[in-house]
Amino acid sequence: MAASLVLPKLVGQRIKRREDPRLIQGRATYVDDIKVVGMQHLAFVRSDIAHGRILSIDTSAADAMDGVEAVFTGAQIAELLAPMPILTPFPSPDHRAVAVDIVRYVGEPVAVVVTADRYVARDAADAIVVDYEQLPAVVDPEQAMTGTPVVIHADFADNLALPFLPGGTGVAADFTVDDTVVDQAFADAEVVVSQRMVNQRLAPTPIETRGVLAHFEPGKGTMTIWSSTQNPHTLRTFIATMTGLGQDQVRAIAPEVGGAFGAKINIYPEEYVAAALSKRLGLPIKWIEDRSEAFVATTHGRDIIGYVDIAARRDGTVVGLKLRLIADIGAYNMLLTAAIPTLTMQMASATYDIPAIRATLTEVFTNKTPTAAYRGAGRPEATYFVERAMDMLARELEMDPADLRRKNFITPDQFPYTTQMGAVYDSGDYGKALDLALQNAGWADLKKQRDAARAKGRLVGLGLSMYVEVCGVGPSSSFPSGGWEYAQVTIERDGRISATTGASPHGQGNETTFAQMLADQFGVPLEHITIHHGDTGVVKQGIGTFGSRSQAVGGTALHLAGGKVKVKMAKFAAALIEAHEDDLVFEDGMISVKGSPESGKSFADVAKYAYVPVPLPKGLDPGLSEEAFFEPANNTYPFGCHISMLEIDRETGEPTLLRLVAVDDAGHLINPLIVDGQIHGGLAQGIGQAMIEEFRYSEDGQPVTGSFMDYAIPRAADFPRFELDNTVTPTPVNPLGAKGVGEAGTLGSTPCVVAAAVDALSEFGVKHIDMMLRPEKLWRIIHGGQP
Amino acid sequence: MAQVSVTVNGKTHTANVEPRLLLVHFLREQLNLTGTHIGCDTSQCGACTVLVDGRSAKSCTIFAVQADGSEITTIEGLARDGRLHPLQEGFWEEHGLQCGYCTPGMIMSAVDLLNEHPSPTEREIRDGIDGNFCRCTGYEHIVNAIQYAANKR
């Protein structure tokens, strides 16, 4: 027997990441790092007006340019590509990958060039002259809903993409609405607080822009497509459909992906065009998005107006909520555009036991870049609207914001809890998270500090927010391409482990966390495990990474596949050591009878036997490789409490975030170090939305924040140290008890920072401030104006 | 075309390039040093940061011809004799990266920062990496990583 090796349990440990050595040495391979012999570069001519009719496209100068392989207009692309597909069930206008007659937003593709040299691609694109008849544009969704000054899509009167979707109390399955209960709740209420709030448009801006390399091999009739995507299997499906190939003939690869934040779920025009042209020309074709392009060509996030009414008794009991949502989805439906605001509806009950809720949703077309998922995707919006309303109610009732929340919580004994919106919350202990956050912040003392600062004339405020989000997407009924995840675990002949996962991480560290799980499951060293992902040629099936699902759904699939292999491996081990399989333990690189390690065989010896099984144990096939699909029965519902302290400079209106205390509950954690990183990143984006980020258009639809010179993403100096902690309320939805944590930070931070700003300016009578907290806006309030 | 001769990570390269060729494209496309990344086109994000004659510089903002005669260090040249640079070690130990795309530029920028401020305060670190954007980490673990390297030197 080998010298005994004692392996510590790794799940729950702060293990440093296995991904990092390649990333910190410049040895990782992102899509733009890949070259294929004969590769051509693709560039897009894009509309520089928000709305117009294409009168002519003159490509003659580009055609004549040295090194230009081909030029295609929208009409020519339309011969190669059917209209853009979507995954939502609502009616949708015709959307071409490259515009044919009409352009509807700045950045919409109009023509493409293919050249051998990247710089020449830009020259050729610049040499194409497009003549437009300019049409009126509309950028304000509430203006657009009047049908003036223009209707963007002929069949969609008043620019209504989704005219009216009701939900909540008294709404039947056929969407007939009975308002009796909601109306009664408001009639009986002693206080009603109402507010129109804007959850502004944001640009997701992963630091790696999008990019794609499509390589159709004419002799084989197969396509390999590398893309900076969150879901290569979905990409494969749609590329196959759109190029007339079978799914067996397309291999989609997500190489190293430099951030995504929801914006790389969508399958984009550029991916279809690159694939179609590679097939048409028989050449490998690469397209890499410029940052200036990314600001208009990659989907935006948020942009939803909420009219919130909250009804309560004087003692703080909330008796009813109305939430009327108007979502500005931009010029077209993308793959999941229409679905995102429905998540805002779904989460309208927040962490509260609200007996009567009416939520309605209207989605509107405007002459802007289409919206889609951005970190949180619908749930930060719900959290923001409800938590801002709760904060306003607390102010109205002169109650401590924490006390008001506590009074209305869904209590631990109520789980599973079905909200008026129909969501079934799996588990929760909201009071515990609130208490811990109050304790960590030193809430009572913090209020004294604030008051003392105010007494000296400083403008200091405190904000508090609860949140609950819906994560771990599926089940399949909740996601149109399937809500399961896939994994395969193979014990190799040398006793090392290869695993594949349909999750497609792009910074989440699943090569580490998944290996931690398998190391514990099999009692082998972490270093003996390799996790493969992001390649449909290697990972047979998959859904992808979004909706904070990779651990809860993908991790569970891996756990189940591992469990199947372990059962089989135990049978081989049992035959080898002449014991009963049920008596065996997998520990410290050995498989042995429990309590007598000297009886054991090494993990590697058992693996070797399984592949050269002489004699073959009765009833067993050779080999050790198993797969699993995991379909969760429900979503998971992580939650938490965030508290902030913020100061506003009386002279300049500039806000400074002084403290951010976060307590998050994502159930069981696999790697708390990675979880901290996920929370930090989410907080940064949530605080960014509250304080400095906003994608803006001029009235005629020109983007005015179309570069990093104008669109502010947070920098290091914008933040204090974050104060993190967590509670652990496992989910019963999966055997890991893990809920998901990727988006949590964006939920609680945003409303709590705005609440702190409102608190800081309370002496000026302000009750709500729309984001972002531009110093000018705050300065005006300080100087007697309106926000 | 113009001739350019630069020493990159200790190795001298001479090439004929278009005068408009950006240094970052020269490094990535001609020398195949793809560890240096491109994250914007307005010199804000810092993903392309390299050392030019020992000082950090955004290689998307320099023409290759302007770098003629200079000595350049990219992320690939930072580890020596198979040993990670203290900053690389710090980023690994402190979980200073997630997607890793900003990381090479962030590390090269931090090399210059620590050359100038061997024992920086947290404020100096946060201000010092103002020209490097990270969208994943919220920066706190990056600050920790730079502090780790400062303490190690």
A447 occurs within a structural domain: yes
Domain extent at residue B147 = 86-152
**Do residue B56 and residue B114 come from a single domain?**
no
Domain total of chain A:
3
pLDDT score recorded for residue A2: 43
**Do residue A761 and residue A776 come from a single domain?**
yes
If you count them, how many residues does chain B have? 153
pLDDT score recorded for residue A354: 98
Contact residues, A window 504-563, toward B, CB-based 8 Å cutoff: 506-509
Chain B within 8 Å of A21 (Cβ-Cβ)? yes
pLDDT score recorded for residue A764: 96
Using the Cα atoms of residue A676, residue A740, residue A546 and residue A746 in order, give the sign of their dihedral: negative
**Residue among B28, B44, B138 whose CB faces A719 most closely:** B138
Chain A within 8 Å of B1 (Cβ-Cβ)? no
Read off the CATH number of the domain in which B7 is found: 3.10.20.30
A343 occurs within a structural domain: no
Crossing angle, helix A556-577 and helix A603-611, to 10 degrees? 80
Contact residues, B window 101-120, toward A, CB-based 8 Å cutoff: 101-104, 107
Which residue among B24, B43, B77 closes a domain?
B77
**Do residue A226 and residue A79 come from a single domain?**
yes
CB atoms within 10 A of CB A453: 17
**Do residue A532 and residue A590 come from a single domain?**
yes
Chain A within 8 Å of B84 (Cβ-Cβ)? yes
DSSP secondary structure letters along chain B:
-EEEEEEETTEEEEEEE-TT-BHHHIIIIIS--TTS----SSS-S-TTEEEETTEEEETTSSBGGGGTT-EEE-GGGTSBTTB--HHHHHHHHTT--SS-SSHHHHHHHHHHHHHH-SS--HHHHHHHTTT---SSS-SHHHHHHHHHHHHH-
pLDDT score recorded for residue A513: 98
Read off the CATH number of the domain in which A499 is found: 3.30.365.10
pLDDT means over runs of 10, chain A (787 residues): 68 97 98 98 98 98 97 98 96 97 98 98 98 98 98 98 98 96 98 98 98 97 98 98 98 98 98 98 98 98 98 98 98 98 97 98 98 97 98 98 98 98 98 98 98 98 97 90 97 98 97 98 97 98 95 97 98 96 96 92 97 96 98 97 98 98 97 98 98 98 97 97 98 96 96 98 96 97 82
pLDDT score recorded for residue A786: 65
**Do residue A430 and residue A487 come from a single domain?**
no
DSSP secondary structure letters along A45-80:
EE-SSSSEEEEEEE-HHHHTSTTEEEEEEHHHHHTT
Residues of B within 8 A of A722 (CB-CB) are 138, 140
Distance from CA of A23 to the nearest CA of B (A): 5
Which residue among B77, B103, B127 closes a domain?
B77
Distance from CA of B52 to the nearest CA of A (A): 17
Chain B within 8 Å of A672 (Cβ-Cβ)? no
Q: Which residue of A has its CA nearest to B20?
A: A119
**Do residue B101 and residue B73 come from a single domain?**
no
**Do residue B111 and residue B133 come from a single domain?**
yes
A327 occurs within a structural domain: no
A337 occurs within a structural domain: no
**Do residue A624 and residue A654 come from a single domain?**
no
**Do residue A658 and residue A736 come from a single domain?**
yes
C-beta atoms of A26 and B127 within 8 A: no
| pLDDT tops 80 at residue B32 | yes
Spatial separation of the C-alpha atoms in residues A757 and A554, rounded to whole Å = 39
**Do residue B8 and residue B35 come from a single domain?**
yes
**Do residue B13 and residue B48 come from a single domain?**
yes
**Do residue A591 and residue A525 come from a single domain?**
yes
Chain B within 8 Å of A16 (Cβ-Cβ)? yes
Helices then strands, counting H and E runs in chain A, come out as 20, 28
Region of B142 please: left (phi>0), alpha (psi -120 to 50) or beta.
alpha
DSSP secondary structure letters along A220-278:
TTEEEEEE--S-HHHHHHHHHHHHT--GGGEEEE--B----TTTTTSPPHHHHHHHHHH
**Do residue B70 and residue B91 come from a single domain?**
no
pLDDT score recorded for residue A4: 55
Using alpha carbons only, give the angle A216, A218, A221 rounded to the nearest 5 degrees. 80
**Do residue B15 and residue B47 come from a single domain?**
yes
**Do residue B106 and residue B47 come from a single domain?**
no
Distance from CA of B108 to the nearest CA of A (A): 10
Query: Which residues are within 8 A (CB) of A509 and not within 5 positions of it... i.e. 6 or more apart?
Result: A17, A19, A671, A674, A677, B98
Domain total of chain B:
2
**Do residue A440 and residue A571 come from a single domain?**
no
**Do residue B7 and residue B68 come from a single domain?**
yes
Which residue among B77, B104, B121 closes a domain?
B77
Which residue among A274, A297, A320 closes a domain?
A297
Domain extent at residue A460 = 378-471+635-782
C-beta atoms of B34 and A33 within 8 A: yes
